[in-house]
Amino acid sequence: MAIDRKQVIEALSQIEIIGNQEGLIPAFGVFITDLPTRFWNSFADRLVRNAGPDLQSAAEGLLVNAAHECGYHTGYGIITSDEWKAVVQPMIERVPEDILYGAYAVVTAWGWAKADIVELVPNKKMVVQAYDYYEADVVSSGISSRYSAYMLRGISAAFMDLAYGGKYDPAGKAGMRTFKCIQTKGLECGDDYGEFVVTRAA
Residues that bind other proteins (CB under 8 A): 9, 13-14, 16-19, 22-25, 28, 30-40, 42-43, 46-47, 50-52, 55, 59, 62-63, 65-67, 69-70, 73-74, 77, 108-114, 132, 134, 137
Q: How far apart are CA 24 and CA 106, in angstroms?
A: 22
As measured in angstroms, the least distance from the Cβ of 149 to other proteins is 13
Q: Which C-beta is closer to other proteins: that of 87 or that of 93? A: 87
Return all residues near 73 (Cβ < 8 A) that are at least 6 apart: 29, 30, 170, 172
As measured in angstroms, the least distance from the Cβ of 128 to other proteins is 14
Can you state the angle between helices 5-12 and 97-109, rounded to 10 degrees? 40
Q: How far apart are CA 172 and CA 184, in angstroms?
A: 27
As measured in angstroms, the least distance from the Cβ of 117 to other proteins is 15
Note whether 201 and 123 are within 8 A (CB).
no
Q: Which C-beta is closer to other proteins: that of 33 or that of 184? A: 33
